[in-house]
Amino acid sequence: MEALWLSMKLAGCVAAILLVIGMPVAYWLAYSSWRGKFLLESVVALPLVLPPTVLGFYALVAMGPRGPLGKLWIALFGHGLAFTFGGLILASVLYSFPFAVQPLIASFEGVDRRLLDASAVLGAGSLRTFWRVILPLSLPGVVTAAVLSFAHTLGEFGVVLMVGGNLAGVTRTVSIDIYDHVQSLEYGEANRMALVLLVISFAVLSFVYAVNRRVWTPWPAK
Amino acid sequence: MDSVASEVNSKMLSARIRKQRRSAGASSFILDVSVEVSPGITILFGASGAGKSTLLDCLAGLAQPDEGRIVTGNDVLFDSAAGIHVPAPKRRIAYVFQTLALFPHLSAEENVAYGLRNLPEAERRSRVDAILKAFRVEKLRRQKPGEISGGERQRIALARSLVTEPRVLLLDEPLTGLDAELKAAIVDDLRAWNAAKEIPILYVTHSRDEVDALGERVIALDNGRVVSSGVPMEVLNAPRRKKLAQAAGFENFLSATVLDLREADGVMRVRLGESACEIEVPLGYAVAGSRVQVAVRAGDVLLATEHPHGLSARNVLEGRIVSLEQRGTMAIARVDCGVTFVVHITPGAVRALELTAGRPVWLLLKTHSCHLVD
């Protein structure tokens, strides 16, 4: 159960961080008219097509004591980043980035441009327009982004294994734990954990689809 | 007198704008206009694609002209030479869009208060109350835009723009889709509001009825240029461009050849199409033998069942009714005189004259009902 709690904590942190940094990135990708925008779009989508081990490998190298990130971290905090919970969060944020950013882009782009114009001629700058118009009208997208990045982080394996290793209570997440149990032929235990993950994932996805189909909403009806 | 003149001047919107719109297709559109809008309602009239919305977007600061200068009163909002471009939120130019663009997640009241965030709470509330009352929508204050009717939405959109006390109001076909009575009621409320504020209002429409109902002044736009401006009667009753004439409700366009000019009478004789019909039209810039276009309103053509005499109308054409159809409270006759004319008559006249397809008739055209267009 320690592994499950760790996974939840990791997924929660990652989802929260991704919402905060995903919004400005998605805003820029949705509204910028810069011609080279496609380059950043490709970078954002990369984790979708790369094997987690590739991403994990580069993250590990960067975080290692001789990597740029590792050096910086040691200088700041006196200890390395690899095989720590912090390192795990960082790698997971990278890995789940598209799952947060893409729903946000889609919902920002779905907001009628004339509403933004209306906000501007009524005296609102872009920040106020974002808070008062774009964000409230993109709530389903925000919920989708948060839930998908949570669920995706919950289920990741390759990146965690590369960057975090397998330290009980620090980096041993549910997926690693299941792998461990299978390796030691404890199928009963593995099944119990796998089932928990399956149920949680199903519940989370049902929530996302229900919100997007407006079966019900987590905020007061419009 | 001087103070009155400067008062008007201090509110006037004047703009010179040149903007090229690059579209995906090969044809690029150039808006190149110079307009002056004084306090009161000025109609911006033109067929769709004439550049009306582009002009409004430039004035509001939502689009940037390639070149030009926009001034309200003594404030420069845009000047390409001086590198000035005041962003839309700082222009204090209100803009009611064709789609209205009410915020769907906010109540009517919150929509109206949207532009007032810098005011203290008490004043904000009293301004919102006053404008909701002025536009007769105070009962809907807690409703969302999705829950109220079209005409009420239009009132709320107007209220939302006007409550900010803008120095210019831009209206992009704000009343389309409303019946005439409702339209007139809303226009009355708008006029009543502007009687006190006296700001320039630029009102875009391509509906002839709205021009007649509202018009103090008209600016006619065609293909990115101002083709004429002045009082509605002059601009729209004698359109000089075919597209504008079509929009202004001219049904008959006939190409004609100039036969001779009678400068002393201010008229010239032309032959219509390849037919033998000769009619007299107002003198235009033409020489004998040149081709001109003549526009005639279907409602300006008189129809007789006998050869008329003793009339001032100079043009009498003999023909035959080709078809007759009734549309609403109006009958539309097509008459072949060698060229085909569309004629509007009342159903009562159809009965009284016993008009049917195939019947020989005479058409009467006043010289000054025949307009030359480019």
CATH number of the domain that residue B49 is part of:
3.40.50.300
Chain B contact residues (CB < 8 Å to A): 60-62, 87-95, 97, 99, 101-105, 114-115, 117-118, 144, 146, 160-161, 164
Q: Cβ of A121 and B160 within 8 Å?
A: no
Do B12 and B91 fall within a single domain? yes
The answer to whether A122 contacts B99, with C-beta atoms less than 8 Å apart, is no
pLDDT tens digits along B65-123? 999 999 998 899 999 999 999 999 999 999 999 899 999 999 999 999 999 988 899 99
Whole-number Å distance between alpha carbons of B341 and B356: 16
**Does residue B244 fall inside a structural domain?**
no
Q: Is the pLDDT of residue B19 over 50?
A: yes
Domain-located, residue B364? yes
When CB atoms are compared, the residue of A114, A122, A222 closest to B144 is A222
Test mutation, A121, A142, A214, A222, chain B, max B CBs within 10 A: A121
Residue B155: domain span: 2-239
3-state class of A79 per DSSP? coil
Summarised one tens digit per residue, pLDDT across range B210-248 is 777 776 788 888 888 887 787 776 666 666 666 667 667
Mind listing the pLDDT tens digit for each residue in A132-175?
Answer: 999 999 998 999 899 989 988 988 888 888 888 777 778 888 88
The string of pLDDT tens digits covering residues A202-215 is 888 888 888 877 65
Output the six-digit token pair for A77: 């905090």
- Residue A118 near chain B (CB below 8 Å): yes
Residue type, A171: T
Q: Which domain holds residue A91?
A: 2-31+56-212
- Pairing between β-strand B84-85 and β-strand B75-79 as defined by DSSP bridges: antiparallel
More confident residue, B34 or A67: B34
Query: What is the total count of domains within chain B?
Result: 2
Which of B188, B218, B239 is at the close of a domain? Answer: B239
What is the pairing mode between strands B200-205 and B40-45?
Answer: parallel
Contact B202, B168 (CB under 8 A): yes
Q: Which residues does residue B327 pair with via DSSP β-bridges, in sequence order?
A: B330
Placement of tokens 């005439």 in the chain: B180
- The Cα B169–Cα A32 span in angstroms is 29
What is the pLDDT at residue B4?
47
Q: Phi-psi category of B44—alpha, beta or left, where left has phi over 0 and alpha has psi -120 to 50?
A: beta
Residues B180 and B233 in one domain: yes
Supply the CATH number for residue A96's domain: 1.10.3720.10
Please give the pLDDT value at position B236.
66
CA distance B329 to B346: 7
Give tens-digit pLDDT for B20-74: 876 655 567 889 999 999 898 898 988 777 888 899 999 999 999 999 999 998 8
A204 belongs to a structural domain: yes
DSSP string over A131-172: IIIIHHHTHHHHHHHHHHHHHHHHT--HHHHHHH---TTTT-
Distance (Å, rounded) from C-alpha A163 to C-alpha A92? 9
Contact at CB, A121 and B61, closer than 8 angstroms: yes
- pLDDT above 60 (res B5): no
Of B62, B95, B105, the CB nearest to A136: B105
pTM of the model: 0.74
Q: Is A43 within a domain?
A: no
Q: Do A128 and B90 touch (CB under 8 A)?
A: no
Identify whether residues B317 and B225 lie together within a single domain. Answer: no
| Residue B245 belongs to a domain | no
Q: Indicate whether B323 belongs to any domain.
A: yes
* Same domain as B306, residue B235: no
The size of the A-B interface in CB pairs under 8 A is: 65
* B97 and B17 inside one domain: yes
> Which candidate, B87, B71, B47, places its Cα nearest to that of B244?
B47
Q: Is residue B213 located within the same domain as residue B338?
A: no
- B40 shares a domain with B154: yes
In a domain, B69, yes or no: yes
Task: Say if B334 falls within a structural domain.
Answer: yes
Q: Which of A122, B119, B276 lies closest to B130 in space, CA to CA?
A: B119
Which residues from B are below 8 Å from A132, CB to CB?
103, 114
Residues B224 and B289 in one domain: no
Q: What is the pLDDT of residue B238?
A: 63
Q: Indicate if B198 and B261 belong to the same structural domain.
A: no
Of B215, B239, B263, the residue that ends a domain is B239
Answer whether A220 touches B (CB < 8 Å).
no
CA dist A84 and A64 (Å) reads: 11
In a domain, B246, yes or no: no
C-alpha pair distances (Å), B371 with each of A146, B206, B240, B253: 66, 20, 8, 9
In this structure, the answer to whether residues B225 and B258 fall within a common structural domain is: no
How far does CA B214 lie from the centroid of its chain?
Answer: 10
* Residue B319: CATH number of its domain: 2.40.50.100
Question: Model confidence at A221, in pLDDT bands (50, 70, 90)?
Answer: very low
What share of chain A has pLDDT > 90, as a percent? Answer: 37
The Cα angle at residue A31 between residues A29 and A34, in degrees rounded to 5: 70
How many domains does one find in chain A?
Answer: 1
Q: How far is B161 from chain A (nearest CA, A)?
A: 7
Beta-sheet pairing, B225-230 with B217-222: antiparallel
B247 domain-assigned? no
pLDDT at A170: 81
pLDDT the model gives residue A166:
79
B77 and B14, same domain (yes or no): yes
Q: Is residue A218 in a domain? A: no
Cβ separation of B95 and A118 shorter than 8 Å? yes
Residue pLDDT, tens place only, B114-170:
999 888 999 999 999 999 998 889 899 999 999 998 889 999 999 999 999 999 999
Helix axes A68-77, A52-63, angle to 10 degrees: 50
Please give the residue that has the higher pLDDT: either B314 or A28.
A28
The answer to whether residues B81 and B160 belong to one domain is: yes
Best mean pLDDT range from A5-19, A166-180, B46-60, B278-292: A5-19
Instruction: Report which of residues B21 and A218 the model is more confident about.
Output: B21
Partner residue opposite B164 with nearest CB, options A117, A122, A128 = A122
Q: Per-residue DSSP letters for A13-55?
A: HHHHHHHHHHHHHHHHHHH---TTHHHHHHHHHHHHHS-HHHH
Complex-level ipTM: 0.80
